[in-house]
Structure 1
Amino acid sequence: MKPCIFLLAAGLLDAILTHVGISSGFIEEGNPMMKEVINKGWSYFYLIKIFLPLLLLGLFYLKPFKGTIRMLLISTCVLYLSVLVYHMVWVVLYLNTSA
């Protein structure tokens, strides 16, 4: 269950940082599908970033993940952590260029 909660928190943090970065003009969305969602509205973007991890939590609650599925979930957490580290790098760069 902890990896699912991490994905929910990471998704929300990713959404907030992406919104701030795009709104400030410091970054652009790299995922073409998410770029289309953002073009339709930020509320859709946030809805996806929150709904999908919640769905995963619900599925986990019904039947805990084991074996290969759990390994894929942990791999996803590691990848998402690298995305958050990437966000932190551009936040630091942005703060250093703004000062």
Structure 2
Amino acid sequence: MKKYIPRIISNNKFVFLLCILCLLDAVFTDIGLRKHLINEQNPLMEAFYQKDIKLFYIVKLGLPICLLLLLYKYQIRKIITNSILFVNILYTFIIFLHIRWFIFFL
């Protein structure tokens, strides 16, 4: 399995970046929720968080990892690449929002 990881990452840098951004979002959201600085706005993720924090992290990180594995198996089309780039831009904006409330509230 170790042999395949670098090839997956090098072929799908945007998806790898998405995994990193999802991890940062999950960690920042968890910190914000624990310190009562924010509320989870996604009802489904709120339910996962309330049920079990591990489940929250599994879902939050599992989706982009599944995407990474699917893209490794199937040919990447331009619309998929553009969509992933767009999602990365949105997640980057979300990370900056997290950083902003860290600066103001912590």
**Corresponding position of 1:46:** 57
- What percent of counterpart residues are identical? 31
Structure 1 residue runs of 4 or more that deviate by more than 4 Å after TM superposition: none
Structure 2, unmatched stretches of 5+, are: 1-11
When normalised by structure 2's length, the TM-score is 0.85
> Residue 67 of structure 1: which of 78, 98, 105 is its match?
78
1:7 to 18, 23, 32: 18
Per-residue CA distance 1:3-23 (angstroms, 9 max, x = gap): 110111111111111111000
TM-score for the superposition, normalised by structure 1? 0.90
Q: 1:32: which partner in 2?
A: 43
Paired residues, what number? 95
Aligned to 2:69, which of 58, 62, 85? 58
Q: Deviations over 1:48-70 (max 9, x none)?
A: 11111111110111124222111
Q: Which moved more, 1:13-22 or 1:60-69?
A: 60-69
RMSD: 1.0
Gaps of 5+ in 1: none
